[in-house]
Structure 1
């Protein structure tokens, strides 16, 4: 028998959570009108101020919009699925970075903004994955990936210096086709990747970069990319807004 447990959240957080789930899973669609405040008050047994606080949370998340004299309507839609497999293969000769070409396939405009390139001592789990010593260093390339001018993913990718030194990866400029293409040209094509996906409380830089509303978690992917002989060639931390995006994996079962 499960032990007793009570939801510790406030009433307005519970209301927002239920409405958010209905929006992100498609039960409430863009353009749908929400029940009136009195109706929500009756449904939940709460005061009007509590309902308004719940609706304000979802307006800040751009999931709802108020129309003066008409009510509150769904503005956001279901979460967008992003398939990691679509981005792993190096771009073909003369092709753009796969983030851009995949966005075009979905009739979206993808952009990439390079934020930082520097040699750093990576975080503990990155050093472990790359097989670095405690004071080992790697190249960090940090970018913001956007869809239709909306910041979608903050990427922090680390590369072994032995692979990066003497290449365009060390320069603070974009690379035609992206780093996977450059590494493949050097003889280190991606052969396998391992993802660990978690829900995390965002740091300040993640909130700012992704323009997140208050109290919104992120979906954080810790990815290790391997080349031939299981050599790690890239370790990335990929942060996305948890209420807008989801990862889709399609794997064959032996």
Structure 2
């Protein structure tokens, strides 16, 4: 390991953070993107002039800067780069009509859907209202947890009227080329317009730890933020899907590209 520390100098949190920042930016061995960092105890034992408290404050500082990410129960890692989420291109008909996935639009290494669950549920009241479904009536729910490498980065649940899903591949865990939008289009209900609402907030305990045998995002309890995105897909004037998504804000970059005369 590259260690530029002066053996006779006691590091402050600022000076040790500067040293770690240098190693990360210069890609010193052991500090490449995705590398797992030593524990606080290991830093204190191997770095001259670095107390455990100093290492902890330095790590917190670099985490706030976005250079380091902490995974609950797994330690701290050099961030591997944020996942772009590019709108509105990712939702364009031209993209999914070619059989491509929404996730694949953003990056050559998109997150993968795991733990896919499909079934009928009574949706939240605001979802039922948007879909035009009477209160208490079931709709089709498609739950997915997305991971990149070994890291969970997104939880998503899509709700659709059952009259548009019965007997189609939308009821399967694998919806086929182009996904749900392509299957809706085959029935004459392909989305023609989308509305997305985005807020930033602290994650709930269930989103961190999971619940009902579902795994969560495994975020740190203190200081973590998520993007909560509610997406409405319309075919003409009819809302045909409502998708509720929770994204690890440390993992994603939201990118918006649109013409000036839009």
TM (norm. structure 1) is: 0.67
Distance 1:244 1:30, change over 3 A: farther
Counterpart in 2 of 1:99?
Answer: 103
Tell whether the 8 Å contact from 1:117 to 1:139 is kept in structure 2 after alignment. Answer: yes
Aligned to 2:246: 239
Shift of 1:169: 1.4
Question: What is the distance in 1 between the residues matched to 2:206 and 2:87?
Answer: 23
Give the alignment of 1:13-52 within 5 angstroms.
29=25, 31=27, 51-52=54-55
Aligned length in residues:
206
Mark the CA change 1:96 to 1:74 in structure 2 (over 3 Å): closer, same or farther. Answer: closer
Q: How far apart, in 1, do the equivalents of 2:144 and 2:160 lie?
A: 14
Q: Answer yes or no: is the 8 Å Cα contact 1:30–1:74 preserved in 2.
A: no
Greater CA drift, 231-240 or 195-204: 195-204
Unaligned runs of 5+ in 2: 1-12, 32-50, 70-75, 210-215
> Which moved further from structure 2: 51-60 or 195-204?
51-60
Name the SS of the counterpart of 2:142 in structure 1: strand
Distance 1:210 1:118 in 2: 22
Q: Over aligned residue pairs, what C-alpha RMSD do you find?
A: 3.5
The runs of 5 or more residues in structure 1 that have no matched partner are: 1-14, 34-47, 66-72
Deviations 1:221-250 (A, max 9, x none): 01111112x110110111111122121122
Kept in 2, the 8 Å contact 1:63–1:75? The answer is yes
1:56 Cα deviation after fit: 4.7
Query: What SS does the aligned partner of 1:83 have?
Result: strand
CA distance in 1, matches of 2:26, 2:241: 39
Deviations 1:10-47 (A, max 9, x none): xxxxx99xx8xxx9xxxx847489xxxxxxxxxxxxxx
Residue 40 of structure 1 is matched in structure 2 by: none
Matched-pair contact (CA < 8 Å) for 1:116–1:141: yes
| Distance 1:109-1:162 versus aligned 2 partners, 3 A rule | closer
Cα shift at 1:177: 2.2
Check whether the contact 2:87–2:257 (CA below 8 A) recurs between aligned residues. no
TM-score by length of 2: 0.65
CA-CA distance at 1:57 after TM superposition? 4.3
Answer yes or no: is the 8 Å Cα contact 2:103–2:110 preserved in 1.
no
Change in 2 beyond 3 A, CA 1:161/1:213: same
